[in-house]
Amino acid sequence: MLIPGVEIPHLCAQCDDAPCVPSCPVNALSITKETGAIGVDEDACISCGQCITACPGQIPFLHPDHKKAVICNLCDGDPACAKVCQEGRYNALWTVNKTPSPSYKLYAKLPEIPTREIAERLFGEKAKELL
């Protein structure tokens, strides 16, 4: 949380061109045919972090325990985060049909960008002090 009280989910945008996949030097990442999500072969992953660097939002991360890349796999087509969001009536996350769509890369942003935008809307000029 970059600014207390302004928590912005930082989620995989499932980019159409998935720049994280070709960045992996050991081919540990692949696009799952059934869901279109990025799959991580933990046995092949060497924890180099190149997928993080290649991602426009730097969304993948290395798991704190096993140090392997973690990327949203859409829970095999039934994302738990969207379910919980709907059950809690936050209505911020939805499961939608991916086609036709704009480029999903539009949503792949560093967390600082949407946090700054929301903070400026909430706090006006004071947001600059908080960042």
Asked whether residue 13 is domain-assigned, the answer is no
Asked whether residue 10 is domain-assigned, the answer is no
Residue entry with tokens 């947001």: 127
Range of the domain at 123: 20-130
At 102 the pLDDT is: 61
The SS3 call for residue 39 is strand
Q: What is the CATH number of the domain that holds 64?
A: 3.30.70.20
pLDDT truncated to tens, each residue of the chain (131 aa)? 677 777 777 788 888 889 999 999 999 999 998 888 899 999 999 999 999 999 988 999 999 999 999 998 989 888 898 888 888 887 777 776 666 666 666 677 788 888 888 888 888 888 878 77
At 49 the pLDDT is: 97
Asked whether residue 9 is domain-assigned, the answer is no
Asked whether residue 125 is domain-assigned, the answer is yes
Q: Which two tokens stand for residue 39?
A: 């799959």
Asked whether residue 71 is domain-assigned, the answer is yes
Asked whether residue 116 is domain-assigned, the answer is yes
Asked whether residue 11 is domain-assigned, the answer is no
Q: Rounded to whole angstroms, what are the CA distances from 128 to 10, 56, 112, 119?
A: 21, 24, 12, 9
Give yes or no for a contact between 115 and 8, defined as CB atoms under 8 angstroms apart: yes
Whether pTM exceeds 0.95: no
Number of separate domains in the chain? 1
Asked whether residue 12 is domain-assigned, the answer is no
Dihedral in degrees, nearest 10, Cα atoms 64, 66, 67, 69: -100
